[in-house]
Structure 1
């Protein structure tokens, strides 16, 4: 199957746009608790959309799973379930230290661990970087991490600028709790990348069945199934305890238009979350001999576009010139890193 690193990088970029905008619809959800919104979006992001797309793109989907090793299937699902806790911690971290800082720490850590750990597990860490073009890709990877760090610095400066602008009104800001949760979220979120990597044999079987560039949807379904199980159990219990479960069927109480709007926006969130990894799979298969950098590229794209969306949404309007300059520098370094990694992937063996 012919690869195209330029196309692969562009597809990762589309996934990054999808990921960086997936939680924006929640701002328009009315009279629903976070529990209700999360249950609906999680159901579509991690179960409904993966099943539908899997059936449409993988010939004889169940035949693929029957042929795959049970241990591979179980490990992929279990790691997907573990990843589910990372998403929960991510949300709480935002509450304590803000969006920018949480995104950079958690996703930056996820990018590193989700790339390096699978290579260590397979014993191919040195082998991958000694290929033709490997050092170029390594330089691009390090450059991406440096860009992420600069963006994180900009995020930290932004939080300080906004706190000063609010004359000391810190709200629920708690640096210690927030940092702990962000690190926890980063470690557990990286496990999703490891889950996809361990599920790669399933994708290879799907490729034999004629799935082509869509083969990654086979192992993606297993990873998201694990995440769905964790979140469905957790938020169903939380909804029952907090007595919000009734919101999901309270059509008359909320009004038909509000209920359907909430449902649509929650499904939209789920769709945006899922399609980031739909395009991740397409991008991954096109990265050629450097598929292992897909997770780092995807996470860096996610950070890049999340900050860009923040600028477009005027979240950086009140920051100082130094903070804004730091952000632009970080984004520029990320763009350069994408070009370097793509070039490295095009170097012939």
Structure 2
């Protein structure tokens, strides 16, 4: 196994966070597709194909490890991954109501704290966690992160009020802070459970490490957790797609006006483009945990800080994405200042927690 290096670990977490903060952007490149169609394709790549390929490529005797792993470990990892599946759905819908920056800040902020504390509570080691070197500093960083999340929520409510006074009602229905906030909170709580799935799956990673997987050991448990997530989403969105008659969007008949243009040498059918963009979204989602796994191993004895550092970075980068997409273009200076204060607060919490991890 490669020697631990927390600095490299934090860098790998940053790469994963960047991937996660951009994984929903490809949806905006699709045409004549509903969210249901996009979500089904991206979930297939995010939670089945990409993690399976990663496991097969990086884990020696992967299927042998799975066959020898304790059934209880496999089922708990799968079931808790399934619970996260509901969080993924809530997260996706929340972005449509309150945008990327707010959804990421609120839900991931909650996930950062719960994803760290819940496994400790279940193991009865929360006291030891905060007594170890850097533990109290991590706790301070968590509290500052919660303040940052609260400021994000306040900025969101201010934005909603300003939009209602400046924009016709018909054009403001897409932004709904109350519905979006409830979805983001639900996503944050359920997303924090994903770290429990990864904790339960650690024996699978340990088996992979003994087989020589090295820094890639996390890929062995990742596919088990994401499979549970996929099953939940596949059932939900398949039923929803049938109910709303969305599966006709996968038919070439849905793109008749574009067929002739697509026949030209340089033309690419829109259906193929939609499939490619959706698969890219799924791959980006999966790569966040690929790099999370690498970073977690490189953190060495400071692995206890991995989840909260990774999530804090995700919040930071998602805010930059939201700003780049001009989600806050028409707000007042006071609201924008509130937003920037929230961003700086979250950045400070990330610096503090990173310092504790070093």
- TM-score when normalising by structure 1: 0.91
Q: Deviations over 1:263-284 (max 9, x none)?
A: 1101111011111111111122
CA shift for structure 1 position 172: 5.2
Listed as ranges, the gaps of 5+ residues in structure 2 are 263-268
* Aligned residues of 1:100 and 1:156 also touching (Cα < 8 A): no
2:144 and 2:200 map into 1 onto residues whose CA distance is 27
4+ residue stretches of structure 1 with deviation over 6 A?
A: none
* Aligned residues of 2:100 and 2:322 also touching (Cα < 8 A): no
1:95 and 1:314 map into 2 onto residues whose CA distance is 15
1:340 and 1:288 map into 2 onto residues whose CA distance is 19
Alignment of 1:48-87 (within 5 A): 48-87=49-88
CA shift for structure 1 position 49: 0.3
Q: Deviations over 1:123-149 (max 9, x none)?
A: 111111211222223223333333333
SS of 2:283's partner is: helix
CA shift for structure 1 position 234: 1.6
Match of residue 203 from structure 1: 205
Aligned residues: 346
1:259 equivalent to 2:261? Answer no
1:82 and 1:134 map into 2 onto residues whose CA distance is 28
2:319 and 2:159 map into 1 onto residues whose CA distance is 12
CA shift for structure 1 position 19: 1.1
Q: Deviations over 1:231-269 (max 9, x none)?
A: 112212222222222322437845452011111101111
2:230 and 2:325 map into 1 onto residues whose CA distance is 30
CA shift for structure 1 position 308: 0.7
2:73 and 2:18 map into 1 onto residues whose CA distance is 30
Listed as ranges, the gaps of 5+ residues in structure 1 are none
* Aligned residues of 2:26 and 2:281 also touching (Cα < 8 A): yes
Q: Say which is worse superposed, 294-303 or 44-53, in terms of deviation.
A: 294-303
1:192 equivalent to 2:204? Answer no
Q: Deviations over 1:52-73 (max 9, x none)?
A: 0111111111122123211011
**1:275 maps to which of 287, 290, 314:** 287
* Aligned residues of 1:100 and 1:155 also touching (Cα < 8 A): no
1:339 and 1:103 map into 2 onto residues whose CA distance is 18
1:305 and 1:102 map into 2 onto residues whose CA distance is 12
Match of residue 248 from structure 1: 250
Relative to 1, partners in 2 of residues 1:340 and 1:252: Cα closer, same or farther, differing over 3 Å?
A: closer
Relative to 1, partners in 2 of residues 1:92 and 1:334: Cα closer, same or farther, differing over 3 Å?
A: closer
1:81 and 1:225 map into 2 onto residues whose CA distance is 8
CA shift for structure 1 position 100: 4.2
